Amino acid sequence: MCSSDLAPPRRRKAWLWFGVAGALLLAATTLAIGWMKRDAGSAPWSGVLLEGPQMALDPRLSPDGNLLAFRAFEEAQTQVAVMKPESGNWSILTHRRDRGTVEQVSWSPDSSLVYYDRFTDVPHGVYSVPMLGGEEHLVLEDASAPEALPDGSLLVTRLVSADRGQVYCFWPDTGRLLPFPLKRPLHSAPACARAAPGGKEAFTYAAPLDAAREEPLGMYAIDLASNTARRLSFSKQDSAAPRAWAVAHDGKSLILALPSGSITRVVSVPIRGQSVGKTLFTVTSSIWYLEAGREESLFVNPVERSREVDRLSPGSTLPERIATFSVGGDVDEVLVLPDGRAVTATVGSGHPRLMVAEKGKDPVPLANTQEPTSPPMTLAGSHQMAFIIGPAPRATIAVADIVTGRINRRIAPGKGAIAGLSASANGENLYFCAGGKVWAVPSAGGEPHAVTTGDYAAVDRSGGLIVVRGAASRLRLFQVPLDGGPEREIPLDRSVPIYATHAGFFSSESIDAKGRLLLSLSPLDSWFNTLGILDTNNGSIVRVPTDTLSDHHCGVWTADGGVLYTEVRMRATLWKFAAVK
């Protein structure tokens, strides 16, 4: 933990909020369950909220069927816990706070051990802990996402790039590592593995490692005898990116949680054959994890999230709420307009939309268009703003008038999906990131040209760029002058890891005249991303005093030296669903 002269808010207040929110969400979820029963047709399913912790993630049933392992929260950090599903009695098995978060759990074949990983900006390793508790034991360094197989080996992920890992099979007793030609994103709940009953196959959500062209993620079956992998062929309707998945208890089908507009469909899809998947039920919540139970039952992990735009005045530790939005999209960014209003993204009518928020007033759309509008975004001078317009792969930039919302022009650079967007102080040039490079293009339109390599960038107050470059072990930040001068690597306090998604969604407004950069952190002692202030001159980092039980991915400086930031709150519960006989 880094030191700071700014005291964080008391955790007790945060837990009080979760207690109140939990009651409200429980009522809301109960209503959703009632609607779901009516919607399920001839084979209805019913659900029961499990007793246990207020917040929990990733339920995994032990092979003997007696216990449920999961991730519980202990002072904002995820730890391994076990519970008796029938009674709700539970206990936490791990307590270390200096190795990062627990991201995935898996049982040993004899139900005596729980395997799990530890993660910050990169995976620290796979560990094990006895089912009855005890010391944490390191099984494999620099690995993540363990899945125990019947022969005692583990499917794991090891780094191949800043955000991708390769699938391996690891034998703890001999140390043997067998690579598979599959890669998985590191920061994705569906990118896990599951062993099928019987021990002949395992399944994973991945993509080919050495394909001639980039292929989308999909479900793969791994033959554990021949160590070969094949992509499963699903119908178009069932091949959409799942939010969560599990192998059915009989091993004949996969259970997928598929987002569909404002609902989530839980679908059973046969592993073999071309049969269309069968919808078991639908819910109005996002589902992060699924686990197959016995006798046609499922453990379901619904998660509710909301995004706030908050303001922290200079010298204060009490934030002021500006607006609240639903969470949508994968870019959590906020900007301040010259008149002090805030811009952030939400989801409306099934697609992302940039909204302008002002305290005490209803948010309004930024642009006069029905097309999707989304981050990354940037001010382009005093009267215009640039952002992404159109559906995925988000490769077109729009430049709009801040006051009227009229779109003045569109720029399609043709360099692929755009991951970062910034502008010169006068707004004449835009800088965007695509394909591992930082590009420059006139805001009036024209041909882009490459400036430097990088995965993310923002213009700083000197007129140069702050550039993020990924590495297999950790991210690196550089100051890159635009006049051809030598670049400088920004030193970082490695004891405070930065958020692995290019240090969060910072922008030119995240950097002040003193060279202080607001960015997102992945602290060792918390599952949640906190907001930090990086001194780009000496690399020191201090935390901003924000709620310790929420995510913070973006912050910008206000004109008076305050901080405007996004805060994502969460509620995660465990349910058991069963088909009504």
pLDDT number for residue 262: 77
Task: For residue 289, give the 3-state DSSP assignment.
Answer: strand
CA distance 189 to 205: 10
Two tokens, residue 78 = 């995820």
pLDDT number for residue 349: 66
Q: Which residues contact 420 (CB under 8 A, 6 or more apart)?
A: 376, 431, 432, 433, 438, 455, 456, 457, 458, 502
Which of 500, 560, 499 lies closest to 531, judged by CA?
499
Task: For residue 158, give the 3-state DSSP assignment.
Answer: strand
pLDDT number for residue 3: 27
Task: For residue 191, give the 3-state DSSP assignment.
Answer: coil
Which whole-number Å values give the CA distances from 14 to 10, 11, 351, 488, in the listed order? 7, 5, 31, 40
Which of 51, 32, 47, 60 lies closest to 285, judged by CA?
32
CA distance 453 to 437: 4
Phi, psi angles (nearest 5°) of residue 524: -65, -30
Digitized pLDDT (tens) for each residue of the chain, 581 residues in all: 232 222 223 232 333 333 434 443 444 444 344 334 434 454 789 999 999 999 999 999 999 999 999 999 999 999 999 999 999 999 999 999 999 999 999 999 999 999 999 988 788 999 999 999 899 999 999 999 999 999 999 999 998 766 678 999 999 999 999 999 999 887 777 889 999 988 899 999 999 987 667 788 889 999 998 989 999 887 666 566 788 999 999 899 999 999 887 789 999 999 887 667 889 999 988 999 999 998 889 999 999 988 899 999 998 889 999 999 877 666 789 999 999 999 998 887 668 899 999 999 999 999 999 999 999 999 999 899 999 999 878 889 999 999 999 999 999 999 999 989 999 999 999 999 999 999 999 999 999 999 999 999 999 988 899 999 975 457 899 999 999 899 999 998 888 888 878 888 899 999 999 999 999 998 889 999 999 999 999 999 999 999 999 999 999 999 999 999 999 999 999 999 999 87
CA distance 267 to 384: 45
Which of 382, 381, 350, 384 lies closest to 367, judged by CA?
384
Based on its alpha-carbon atoms, the radius of gyration of the chain, rounded to whole angstroms, reads 24
Q: What is the pTM of this model?
A: 0.83
pLDDT number for residue 238: 59
Q: Secondary structure of 1-40 in the HEC alphabet?
A: CCCCCCCCCCHHHHHHHHHHHHHHHHHHHHHHHHHHHHHC
pLDDT number for residue 19: 41
Which of 179, 193, 274, 190 lies closest to 228, judged by CA?
179
pLDDT number for residue 343: 95
